[in-house]
Amino acid sequence: MTFDVRLGLAIAAGKMSALSIRRLGRGGGTALPGIVSNTIDNDILDKLATRVPGGCVVVAGTNGKTTTSRILAEILERSGLRVIHNRSGSNLVRGITAAFTEQVSVSGQPSGQIAVIETDEAALPEIVRRTKPRLIVLLNLFRDQLDRYGELDTIARMWRETLDGLDSSQTLLINADDPALAAISEDSPATRLTFGFQECAHTLDHLPHAADAAVCRRCGATLTYDELYLSHLGAYHCMQCGYRRPTLDYGATDIQLYGLESGHLALGTGEDALEIDAELPGLYNLYNVAAAAGAALTLGMPGWVVKAGIGEFKAAFGRIERVEIDNRQLVLMLIKNPTGFNEVLRTLAMSAMTDPVMIVINDLDADGRDVSWLWDVDAEHLAEVDAPLYTAGIRSGDMAVRLKYAGISPERITPLGDLDGALDRFIEAIPEEGTAFVLPTYTAMLRLRELLYQRGVVQMFWEQ
Amino acid sequence: MKLTICWLYGDTMNIYGDRGNVLALAQRARWRGIDAEITTLAVGEPLDPDSVDIFFWGGGQDREQIPVSRDIQGEKGDLLRRTLEDGAPMLSVCGGYQLLGKHYHPYGEAQLPGIGFFDAWSEAGPERFIGNVVVESDRFGSLVGFENHSGLTFLGPTAEPLGRVRVGRGNNGKDGTEGCIRLNTLGCYLHGALLPKNPAVSDFLVRAALERKYGVTELEPLDDDLEMIAHQEAVRRAEATR
């Protein structure tokens, strides 16, 4: 391989900017190095991606992409591979470029043997075009941050074009329980594999309000669900045109939830079934587990490595985390969009807890600037649990109003406003030795972690 | 007393948290001891105006707006227009607002006829207006919401705007107007959802419905502390972000 001067310069500049940002204490330095590198060499990502011997795996979906890609990376590492991975959830082109420049030599030789790339929904077409992945894992398409993307249909259309442009050497692994994903992947020339829930006792009676894809994408009729598991994910068919959920290549059975702690599923059936335990709560995480396990098996990982990798896995940054502070335990659960929020509330309501809950809503770009989405959340779940409720963040008031209109008595709702001032007041409200739950949106989680870091009770995420 | 709130095309035109608007109408009736029921009316279902006290019509994606436009051609649309002309209260947002006008012209596609209740028409614009909005309205004071539309609405000479945008772009980004009001029907581009943070508008609709159905003109006041905290927060946020 000849030395590519431009590429070498780009990598060196990217590495230096990451280092200097961390020295200055300005945060994780996860995106700026990518901007610096891309400015020097526009094709840097294309060049580096094609030099990774084991190829690239791209993971996308509205919910669960960070968790899924981290589980997959963990499994691959456990098998002895060195993995390039945008670990901190910086999932736009520049963040992904930064992950590559950090994990190659200055001559452009990747130190990793395979890459696991978590990508933002809107960035998927570009990332796929530039990295030519051997495997694309698509998790779900939920309503998320409409103000950023325009409309959900736009994403589905963009993805379909991308999938139609793949070739037969590439593999697609899709969540067939999502009718939108099943429909847009139908005509792709790539080899299509599917995962989903084959048998699951945890079902919903009706489509939640936040559900997006209740219509048959082939004929426009309303889909009939044989089983509905989470939002619009389930086993479905169309009465009008006969379309139905594709057969599952990786069908999960024996799905068990153990409160706020962990879960279990089996992939496959009979003696060959792979029994998997995961230290992750909620049904939504078992979808992530099924996706990561399916992807690892597709890549040729042995069953025992998959099982062990998942068993050892700790939740991705902020997805769920326990923090000790002043002799009290805070459980942090990230909320990103109606579906994620609903699942967190469903999990809390199922555990019938009475501990204080603080919901922190910001409206910065990464949170979704339009807080309308709070009305797609079934805050009514919280009317069933007897817990004091606090709201905080830039949109503390909006969340308080959402709770009030869910039928919760205003006496139970305390809006605390700005998170910096709210945190101490909330901690004081927790009984000593007690537990409390904090549910922040993405940027609220970043700020919360900074505040907890200043109090010396957590590490910053790039140190994890 | 009982009010029935009909969510027009609630099964398909339901993005941007419109449930908040319907919930606000129902809860603010219930908190005053008035029963409230929420119904939906889908494409192909007949409209029975006597069974509805307040209408809500929200926004949809373009894909969903086409069958709805077809559904309101002919008798159903005429009946809806006559019902609104008779004073039935309605809040319409975005897609619903556009179809209350004369027509909506999506980009590169055939014009979708509306029911012509508002002297207004809409067309796809080149730019998407996205962000927090503050509207000053003679009738309601300040209104807060979040706009997210590429459709532009133009008011005819007989149309009264809901208010003037103090922060944001409004109907068309040019004339400073936002929304439209006629009799007891409001149209606007304000998501957020609109009603929970603007209780004066909720109460205008509830009061209009009670007067029309029961001759009641006075509403029992409610404690709106949380609503006003959210309202003020949204005003400050709009001023800081645009």
Cβ(A404)–Cβ(B23) under 8 Å?
no
Burial of A398 (0-12, 13-18, 19+ CB in 10 A): buried
Does the predicted TM-score (pTM) go above 0.90?
no
Structure token digits, residue A68? 């899924």
ipTM, interface predicted TM-score of the complex:
0.96
- Cis omega (within 30 of 0) for bond into B26: no
Of the listed ranges A263-277, A390-404, B32-46, the one predicted with least confidence: A263-277
Short-list A117, A75, A123, A81, CA closest to A99: A117
pLDDT at A216: 81
- Domains in chain A and their CATH numbers? 53-90+109-312 (3.40.1190.10), 320-463 (3.90.190.20)
Q: How far apart are CA B137 and CA B187, in angstroms?
A: 13
Q: How far apart are CA B92 and CA B87, in angstroms?
A: 15
Instruction: Name residues 384-413 of chain A within 8 A of B (Cβ).
Output: 394-398, 400-402, 404-405, 407, 410, 413
Structure token digits, residue B213? 């159905």
CATH of the domain at B77: 3.40.50.880
pLDDT at A1: 45
Residue bearing the bigger pLDDT, A276 or B61: A276
How remote is the C-alpha of A206 from its chain's centroid? 24
Tell me whether residue B137 is in a domain. Answer: no
Chain A contact set for B231 (CB, 8 A): 397
Structure token digits, residue A227? 């089983």
| Closest Cα in chain B, distance from residue A360 (Å) | 14
Tell me whether residue B211 is in a domain. Answer: yes
Tell me whether residue B165 is in a domain. Answer: no
The CA R_g of chain B, rounded to the nearest whole Å, is 17
How far is residue A325 from each of residues A360, A391, A393, A418, B20, measured CA to CA in Å? 18, 19, 20, 20, 36
Residue B159 DSSP code: -
Chain A contact set for B133 (CB, 8 A): none
Domain boundaries, position B51? 2-123+152-157+180-223
* Number of domains observed in the structure of chain B: 1
pLDDT at A258: 83
Chain B contact set for A370 (CB, 8 A): 16, 130, 146, 148, 191-192
**Catalytic positions of B, please?**
94, 191
Kindly identify which residue of chain A lies nearest to residue B236, measuring between CA atoms. A394
B180, B185, B188, B192 alpha-carbon torsion, rounded to 10°:
150
Cβ–Cβ contacts within 10 Å for residue A354, how many?
9
* CB nearest to B27's CB, from A395, A405, A413: A405
- Residue of A405, A411, A443 for testing the chain B interface, max B β-carbons within 10 Å: A405
How remote is the C-alpha of B194 from its chain's centroid? 9
Tell me whether residue B200 is in a domain. Answer: yes
How remote is the C-alpha of A42 from its chain's centroid? 28
Q: How far apart are CA B74 and CA A408, in angstroms?
A: 43
Short-list B242, B236, B65, B113, CA closest to A397: B236
Cβ(A260)–Cβ(A345) under 8 Å?
no
Starting at the edge strand found earlier in the chain, the sheet holding A191-197 runs: A83-85, A114-118, A56-60, A135-138, A171-175, A191-197, A250-258, A262-267, A274-278
Tell me whether residue B167 is in a domain. Answer: no
Ramachandran angles phi, psi of A269, nearest 5° = -130, 170
pLDDT digits (tens, 9 = 90+) for A84-113: 998 766 888 888 888 888 877 767 777 889
**% of chain B at pLDDT higher than 70:** 98
Q: How far apart are CA A67 and CA A296, in angstroms?
A: 14
* H and E: helices and strands count for chain B: 7, 12
Structure token digits, residue B218? 């006075």
pLDDT digits (tens, 9 = 90+) for B165-182: 999 999 999 999 999 999
